[in-house]
Every structure is written in C-alpha cells, then in structure tokens.
Amino acid sequence: MKVAFYAPLKAPDHPVPSGDRALSRLLMRALAHAGHETILVSRFRSFDGRGDHQRQVRLARVGDRLAMRLAARLRAQPPDLWFTYHVHHKAPDLLGPYTSATLDIPYVIAEASVAPKQRDGAWAVGYARALDAIRAADTIVSVNPEDVAQVRRARARGADAAMLAPFIDVSAFAAEADASHSEERPDAPARLVTVAMMRDGAKLASYRSLAAALEQLRDVSWRLTIIGDGPARPRVEAAFEGVRDRVTFAGARAAPDIARTLTASDVFVWPAIDEAFGMAFLEAQACGLPVVGAASAGVASVVVNGRTGALVAPGDAAAFAAALRRLLDDPSSCRAMGIAASAHVREHHDLPVAALTLDGILRAVVARRHSDARPPGSSLPAPSAILP
C-alpha cells in the first residue's frame, strides 16, 4: 500500500531529537519493513506549547488551507491510507481528517490522547480539533495503555481500536548487546546508568527522585553515568550534589555510544515520573540490562516486574532505593534479569514484530472500508469544521 504519513507534533526528520521523533521514525521504518510505500506528506507543525488561544486559531486556519491544497495535489494519485502519528490538544491533526475524507481513503491515528480538562481550558481550540480527528479516525492504534480509556470514551461506541506494543530496532543494539555481561567484578562498584533529556517538568522531577533514592544508598558501592543534556542541566547537577563524587555527567551521546555505555553497565535506573513508557527502557533491556523504574501502565507495558526489572510507585524514592538495593545485593539475580530482559525485548518489542502487527491492523482497516462501499466524499467534514 501507499501510505501518507504525517506527524503534527514533530516530523520524523525534525532536527531536534526526542522520544516522539524516535517513535515517528520507527513507525515509518515498520511500515516500510511491512512492504508499504510510505510518503511523508507534510512537515507542518500544529504544535502550541503555551496554551495561546490566538495561535491555535491561526494554526487551525493555516492547517485547513493546507489540507485543501494537499487533497487537491494528491487527488491524481491518492495514497491507499492516511496515517497520522500522535494527536492531542497541543498538536491536533489539522490535515488528515479533511484530506482522507476528500480522497475517500481510510484515516488511521497511532497514539491519540484526550485530556478532558482542556475542553474549556487554555488549549480549547486544539482540544476540539484533536477530538474531531480522533472521532473521524477509522481506527486508533494505541502504544501507551494510559491513553486507551479516555480515547474510547471520546469515540462512538464500538469504534475500532488496536494496540501496538512499544518497539525499537533491536538490530541497532545487537552488536553491543551480544557482548558479555557475565564477568565477575566482586570488588568493583556497581555500574548504574540512565539516559534522559534534561528539561524542566517531569524529566527534572525524575532526576530529583533518582538523586534522592541514591542518597539512601551511600553504604552501597556504585557509580552512576548520566547520558543526556538540556536546558535543565544546572538544576539536574544540583540535585546530585550530595553524591556528586559518584556521578559522571556524560552529556548527549550518539546512539552507538549509548549502546556501548548501556552494555558496559549493570543496571538501568530511571524513575520515569509522568512518562508514557520510555524508549530508554527498551534500549537498556535490549542491551541486556535489568531496569528499575516506575510502575505506571506505560512502563509496565515494556518491563516485566520481577523478571526483567523492578517497578515501584512513581515518585517513591524510598521504594526505588529499596528495589535497587535488592538488585545490587544479588549479582546473580541481576545478571539473570538482564538476560531475560534482552530476550523479552527481542520477542515482543522488536521492529519486525511491530511491522507484522501494524501491517495486520492496516490491512484490516482497508478491508473494512472496501466492504463498507461508502460513496466517495460521504464522510467529508462539514464546512464549519474545516474553516473555523
């Protein structure tokens, strides 16, 4: 199939790295792996991070004009399906609903979230347009389990939905992950590692929680390597002042360097406060590391508590410290968890597995649309929904 791909928050080739960009790229690779021709149809960003009503109105008007031009341009050789990644009130899909309806092709969203408190809040315009898109989709493919309930409530009863397990390309880590973790280091400090951007909000809160947990483990021999950088770095460094002599700030690193550092470590540690699932948890496990993280639905969807890692209540530094202490006190169990972690990611969260699942979802959507035999243009949005 020819698939029109669009990411309203951040295009897959956006210059600023992030977890969102990483998953966007992975989805395009999964589609290609499944044999689909994937076309990035627009780099238009509908993102408003400040809750600026006027900006949302302007973005909506620009998006509507772009949608009409895009539909006209694609009419001669329309794609078989429109695929939008990540729709929410800060970045609604202003292109997909109109274009797909005009071309009479299935419209699919991967990763949608609904925050009802924004209905009358600062992102009211973005919320309304995101909701329009979510309701118009032939199916919603959810990666984060946390989003499923609210999305289901927002859509018609019985509306189609599917789950796609978070995934990475394990082959990118394979050479490093196959290195041995089994060497005995009885007198050496435990090698802890974390990989996360340094910015205010949930990331900074997670760093502070990690620092608080490690301060409770002063009697244990460990060293921590932090890979990451960002505007909150001075505040992150301040959080670790009490254990600064045991912490190495490695800064931002390229993917091969991250894989090598992960493989040379013993445990991946990250409190993951208010995070979806964290690609870093998958990458660490792919490199043969057990992990300690938060028992949120998203993280629990990629970490098997007690088998590939240990999960505790989000933000509970004492519980985090206790879980990490248990791992460090039992090196053989720690190594066994690392082996299980690598096997788990390869079996359930690798790119070929995701490609097969995604291909099945999309082919089912197309088959249902063809069986519906709806007249062309029958699902076009009302004009008021196109031009506010």
Pairs from 179-183 (Cβ < 8 Å, separation ≥ 24):
179/263, 179/264, 179/288, 181/263, 181/266, 181/288, 181/289, 181/335, 181/338, 181/339, 182/335
> What letter represents residue 295's amino acid?
A
2-167+350-386 folds as Rossmann fold (3.40.50)
171-348 folds as Rossmann fold (3.40.50)
258-270 mean pLDDT: 95
- The pLDDT score that the predictor gives to residue 374 is 52
Question: What confidence category does residue 186 fall into, taking pLDDT thresholds of 50, 70 and 90?
Answer: low
Question: What confidence category does residue 20 fall into, taking pLDDT thresholds of 50, 70 and 90?
Answer: confident
Question: Of 170-184, 239-253, 325-339, which gets the smallest average pLDDT?
Answer: 170-184
In the predicted structure, residue 292 carries a pLDDT above the cut 80: yes
**pTM of the complete model beyond 0.85:** yes
In the predicted structure, residue 387 carries a pLDDT above the cut 70: no
pLDDT in tens, 133-180: 999 999 999 998 989 999 999 999 999 999 999 999 998 876 655 544
Question: Of 175-179, 223-227, 240-244, 348-352, which gets the smallest average pLDDT?
Answer: 175-179
**Torsion (CA) 127, 132, 138, 142 in degrees, nearest 10:** 10
In the chain, % helix, strand, coil (3-state, to 5) comes to: 45, 15, 35
Q: In what order do the strands lie in the sheet with 222-227?
A: 247-251, 222-227, 190-195, 267-269, 291-294, 309-312
CA-only gyration radius of the chain, Å: 22
- The pLDDT score that the predictor gives to residue 175 is 61
Q: Which residue has the tokens 């483990």?
A: 217
Domain chopping of the chain, boundaries = 2-167+350-386, 171-348
The mean predicted confidence, pLDDT, of the chain is 92
Question: Of 125-134, 166-175, 240-249, 330-339, which gets the smallest average pLDDT?
Answer: 166-175
- The pLDDT score that the predictor gives to residue 378 is 44
- The pLDDT score that the predictor gives to residue 385 is 44
As a whole number of angstroms, the distance between CA 94 and CA 108 comes to 14
Are the folds of 2-167+350-386 and 171-348 the same?
Answer: yes
